[in-house]
Amino acid sequence: MAEVSVNARGWGDLLAEGRLPKFALICLGVWLNAADALVTATIMPSVGVDLGGYAYFSWSIAGFLVGAILAGASAGRVSEIFGLRVATVLSGLLTAVGCVMSALAPEIFTFLAGRLLQGLGTGWISGFSMVAIALLFPERHLARVFATVSGVWGVATLLGPLVGGLYAAGDDWRGVFWLFTVQAVAFSIAAGWLLRGTQSRREGAGVPWLQLGVLAIGVGAIAVADLAPRPSLSLALIAGGFLVLVLVLQLDARSRIRLLPREAAQLGTVVGSGYASMFLLTAASMGFAIYGPPILQTLRGYSPLLAGYVIGVESLAWTAAAFLVTGRLEKFDAAWVRAGALCLVASVLILPWAMADQPLFWVLVGATLLGVAFGLSWSFMSQRVMAALSAEDRAIGTSAIMAVRQTGAAAGAALSGAAANLVGFSDGLTAETARAASVSVFVIAIPLALAGTWAAFRMTRTVR
């Protein structure tokens, strides 16, 4: 009996009964979202030279994430309104349009508008992919599915900056967006074929416009914080944005058409503490992905490609850790979640000390710990949240997993951007501003990492 149980949970059974191509489609959707989110990390110095706008460094990711958050948060409802197949096809086409805009951009604002559309498109793609996981895979396979999704996310966050670095090194940063255009179109075609017979339209499904509008205000306030002319105004916008995000939770809990599960605002539940930990830990990690490449290029003289390889160590560690703990080690899921959170705390303590002056070895240690943090915890946190959702909230709660993480990423991008610009980074890349930013963008993440670790520990001892 035990052998049958193991086989039923194995990779062979996971990919049987026609699930392999659908599994591949989900992985492609996760790849598009994760890789496109960070593809600008290594091309922005080239974009800055071509189009101007050094002050908008963090917006290349924060703007993308604003779109991704709004799309991901509404993905569950949108899939109910249009049906999963139609909604997924349209999301891929929207992504392609955004990529074309960035590829053809004559100035920075068209480029950023394209990034916003890419965020909307891939945010829906990732949200619909999570809905598809809940619909297409038996519960016995969820741990392996989420481990693979985590691994793909890790690989994508490695290859996204590396692909950008290759194109930047070839003085052709626009080419990377043509590459993503082709992938987005291919995704739409495949989705139209593979998702036939999945979730159909649900009569009476509605869109929580009020919550989405308030969410846009909150995320927008955080996103523009690093452009404020005075430090006090920047901090006020960030604080105000966080308060508005809390307001979204309160409004949603009282609304007839909800954006999130009922327990989302309750830290005493698995869903509430899980969402909180996902948000905070993701926010704490963003400084390395956004500001690591320009800091390494400026202070250590690395090429865009070499800087991308250093940043990519995080993703390699993420992927390796994700696959290490799947399978028979799943019974220790609570321990892995806690260990992952503690690794992230260690990383944000090491990196501000190591980035500028210490041997590269210590930068790699910090990057490795950052990747291991998510590799150990990501799939188990997602699985715990999904298992705690009611049948009524399964679609919106599952799609919200990505939206919560992306909200954290947007907040982290804005916070690290504000920290960098407050020490002069927006005035241009110099040794002095890069050295100051190498400390500020990581120090500001320490409180977030500690709070996220507290929420992770609370999540793993909560049974509801």
Across 101-110, 225-234, 262-271, 394-403, least confident range:
225-234
* Spatial separation of the C-alpha atoms in residues 239 and 101, rounded to whole Å: 32
Q: 418 is written with which tokens? A: 């504000």
Q: Is residue 2 part of a domain?
A: no
> How many other CB atoms sit within 10 Å of the CB of residue 16?
10
Q: Is the pLDDT of residue 1 over 50?
A: no
* Spatial separation of the C-alpha atoms in residues 404 and 274, rounded to whole Å: 10
Q: How many domains does the chain have?
A: 1
Q: Is the pLDDT of residue 458 over 50?
A: yes
Q: Cβ neighbours of residue 147 under 8 Å, at least 6 residues apart?
A: 322, 323, 325, 326, 379
pLDDT recorded at residue 283: 92
Residue 402 · residue 76 · CB < 8 Å: no
What percentage of the chain reaches a pLDDT higher than 70?
88
Environment class of 193 (CB within 10 Å of its CB; exposed 0-12, middle 13-18, buried 19+): exposed
Residue 421 · residue 55 · CB < 8 Å: yes
User: What value, to the nearest 5°, has the Cα angle with vertex 439 and ends 436 and 281?
Assistant: 140
pLDDT band at 439 (very low <50, low <70, confident <90, very high): very high
| Residue 83 backbone class (left: φ over 0; alpha: ψ -120 to 50; beta: rest) | left
Residue 39 · residue 180 · CB < 8 Å: yes
How many residues comprise the chain? 464
Query: Residue-wise over 208-225: b if at least 16 C-beta within 10 A, else e?
Result: beebbebbbbbbbbbbbb
Q: What is the pLDDT of residues 238-253, one digit of tens each?
A: 889 889 988 988 888 8
Q: What is the pLDDT of residues 96-122, one digit of tens each?
A: 999 999 999 998 889 999 999 999 999
pLDDT recorded at residue 185: 96
pLDDT recorded at residue 58: 65
Q: Is residue 332 part of a domain?
A: yes
Q: Which domain holds residue 24?
A: 8-460
Environment class of 238 (CB within 10 Å of its CB; exposed 0-12, middle 13-18, buried 19+): buried
pLDDT band at 2 (very low <50, low <70, confident <90, very high): very low
Q: 439 is written with which tokens? A: 């400390």
pLDDT recorded at residue 210: 85
pLDDT recorded at residue 195: 82
Q: Is the pLDDT of residue 296 over 80?
A: yes
Q: Is the pLDDT of residue 201 over 60?
A: no
Which residue is listed with tokens 């993440």?
445
pLDDT recorded at residue 412: 86
Q: Is residue 58 part of a domain?
A: yes
pLDDT recorded at residue 54: 65
What percentage of the chain reaches a pLDDT higher than 90?
27
Distances (CA, A) of 440 to 62, 427, 447, 453: 18, 16, 13, 21
Which long-range contacts does 180-185 make (Cβ < 8 Å, 24+ apart)? 180/32, 180/35, 180/36, 180/39, 180/95, 180/99, 180/118, 181/96, 181/99, 181/100, 181/103, 183/28, 183/31, 183/32, 184/32, 184/92, 184/93, 184/95, 184/96, 184/99, 184/121, 185/92, 185/93, 185/96
pLDDT recorded at residue 329: 60
User: What value, to the nearest 5°, has the Cα angle with vertex 349 and ends 380 and 307?
Assistant: 85
pLDDT recorded at residue 94: 96
Q: Is residue 3 part of a domain?
A: no
Q: Is residue 1 part of a domain?
A: no
CATH number of residue 103's parent domain = 1.20.1250.20
Q: What is the pLDDT of residues 382-426, one digit of tens each?
A: 888 888 888 777 778 887 887 888 788 878 877 888 788 778 776
Residue 176 · residue 100 · CB < 8 Å: no
* Spatial separation of the C-alpha atoms in residues 134 and 426, rounded to whole Å: 43
Distances (CA, A) of 333 to 212, 269, 281, 345, 459: 33, 17, 17, 19, 11
pLDDT band at 464 (very low <50, low <70, confident <90, very high): low
pLDDT recorded at residue 3: 45
Q: Is the pLDDT of residue 4 over 50?
A: no
* Spatial separation of the C-alpha atoms in residues 254 and 252, rounded to whole Å: 5
Q: Is residue 57 part of a domain?
A: yes
Average per-residue pLDDT in the chain?
83
pLDDT recorded at residue 55: 66
pLDDT recorded at residue 274: 93
